[in-house]
Amino acid sequence: MTPLLIRARLLSFKRAPQSIDDSASYFYEDDGGLLIEDGLISACGTFADIKARAPADCTEIDHRPHLVMPGLIDAHVHFPQMQVIASYAANLLEWLNTYTFPEECRFVESAHAARIATHFFDELLRNGTTTAAAYCSVHKASADAFFAESLKRGTCMIAGKVMMDRNAPQGLLDTPQMGYDETRAVIEQWHGKGRNHVAITPRFAITSTPEQMEAAATLAREYPNLHIQTHLSENLDEITYTCELYPDAKDYTDVYARYGLLREKALFGHAIHLSDREADAMSDAGAIAVHCPTSNLFLGSGLFPMRKFQNREKPVRMAVASDVGGGSSYSMLKTMDEAYKIQQLLGERLNPLESFHMMTLGNAEALSLQDRIGTLEPGTDADLVVLNAASTPAMALRMETVTTLAEELFLLQTLGDDRAVVETYVAGTASKPM
């Protein structure tokens, strides 16, 4: 692969910003150079310095005046739900039963799963998202299609075959043994192949019997370094029903703890309505509460208490995500726009430096992948997004009065979407629709 030298304005975070004025939390270079060799970032700094060090045969691309950042990261998304996004329903359980479960039944067909996988990766990359933690359907064919497409694109992805053996249509049910066997088969076939990571994925406690949760517990013991992903405390009716199904548990979070699923690298979608005891348990375990703002607003699930979780004596680790198809946009920019509004409704503020940290290094840390993605540090994978804050007439007009980096980021977050994404690079290669 020919070395690539990118010239642009560069932005990469070093840690979580403490305030909107915390310039020490990030690296910013107005005339930056990024040298990419063999899919990795080999040097990052001023263009003059990097140019002087670059191989004579490198290809140069000038993205000025645009902003180059690490590729955006989505910590919770449903690959089989592309064709149920924007479906009218009153709440989570109605939406699942009316639209989502019938649609997911179609993923038993390999050809359908492969077709949707192509569209799914096209859509993510068009929106600047280079890594996602995704749910497939209950069918192994859906996971095979997802990981095959990821391997073809060269992306760093986390995904899992969903385990569910009750409270769903017959076409969406496995058994405890089948869920275990097929998850093991997916792990053996796909984990570590290319940049693929397999996650143990019981959908949520409502759709898994205690016997299946035991099977998930066995997988968690056998593969202690794998991610785990599921749902938690998204909706009040869901919480009530879960506690009825597991009457011996202290609460919803305790259901997962009893089966050894509450641990580091465990991603819990939503986690809106946690009690103090549950938040303490999440914190003690190092588990991740994944905030899905567009979905929470669309389904009326509740307002995620971000500051409350951050400012506790025992803080809860967090990530952010689109949650398509409950979520209403594939864009992580729109995701953080809605996250900002939720905090406004709670009487709190979310500054744009925080938002862009969350979409990049913050989510990489939540996924325990910060040594590979989420940064422009030399030695990491060259997953990049090129952003244009003047990509629409309204944005261009507003940019005439923007004077600071924070203002530009807030404009991108508030008015930006896929049109603001000039280019997406995966391991140093510009992505193209398949």
Mean pLDDT of the 313-317 span? 98
Task: For the beta carbon of residue 399, count every other beta carbon within 10 angstroms.
Answer: 17
pLDDT bracket for residue 89 (50, 70, 90): confident
Q: Which amino acid is at 389?
A: A
CA-CA distance, 200 to 223, in Å (whole number)? 9
Mean pLDDT of the 56-79 span? 97
The phi and psi torsions of 265 (rounded to 5 degrees) equal 65, 15
Sheet holding 4-13, edge to edge: 40-46, 26-37, 4-13, 59-70, 384-387, 421-426, 429-430
The answer to whether the CB of 364 falls within 8 A of the CB of 370 is yes
Residue 151 pLDDT more than 90? Answer: yes
The token pair that represents 16 in the structure block: 């979580």
Mean pLDDT of the 240-264 span? 98
The region, left, alpha or beta by phi > 0 then psi within -120 to 50, assigned to residue 343 is alpha
Could you tell me the pTM of the whole model?
0.97
The answer to whether the CB of 262 falls within 8 A of the CB of 286 is no
Q: What is the pLDDT of residues 325-381, one digit of tens each?
A: 999 999 999 999 999 999 999 999 999 999 999 999 999 999 999 999 999 999 999
CA 354 to chain centre: 16
Q: What is the pLDDT of residue 344?
A: 98
Q: Determine what percent of the chain is predicted with pLDDT higher than 90.
A: 96
Q: What is the pLDDT of residues 290-309, one digit of tens each?
A: 999 999 999 999 999 999 99
The answer to whether the CB of 340 falls within 8 A of the CB of 355 is yes
pLDDT bracket for residue 96 (50, 70, 90): confident
Residue 434 pLDDT more than 80? Answer: no
Q: What is the pLDDT of residue 92?
A: 80
Q: Which amino acid is at 139?
A: H
Mean pLDDT of the 109-118 span? 97
DSSP-assigned states of every residue in 48-83: HHHHHHS-TT-EEEEEEEEEEEEPEEEEEEEGGGTT
pLDDT bracket for residue 282 (50, 70, 90): very high
Task: For the beta carbon of residue 191, count every other beta carbon within 10 angstroms.
Answer: 17
Q: Determine what percent of the chain is predicted with pLDDT higher than 70.
A: 100
Q: What is the pLDDT of residues 194-217, one digit of tens each?
A: 999 999 999 999 999 999 999 999
Angle formed by the axes of helices 140-153 and 176-190, nearest 10°: 20
Residue 178 pLDDT more than 90? Answer: yes
The phi and psi torsions of 325 (rounded to 5 degrees) equal -90, -5
pLDDT bracket for residue 97 (50, 70, 90): confident
The phi and psi torsions of 12 (rounded to 5 degrees) equal -150, 140
Residue 416 pLDDT more than 90? Answer: yes
Mean pLDDT of the chain: 97
Bridge partners, residue 73, by sequence: 131
pLDDT bracket for residue 93 (50, 70, 90): confident
Task: Tell me the C-alpha to C-alpha distance, in Å, between residue 75 and each of 216, 313, 361.
Answer: 20, 25, 12
- Give the start-end residues of each E strand in 275-420: 288-291, 317-320, 384-387
CA-CA distance, 127 to 329, in Å (whole number)? 10
Q: What is the pLDDT of residue 378?
A: 98
Mean pLDDT of the 381-407 span? 98
Residues with Cβ within 8 Å of 43's Cβ and at least 6 positions away in sequence, in order, are 33, 34, 35, 50, 53, 54, 378
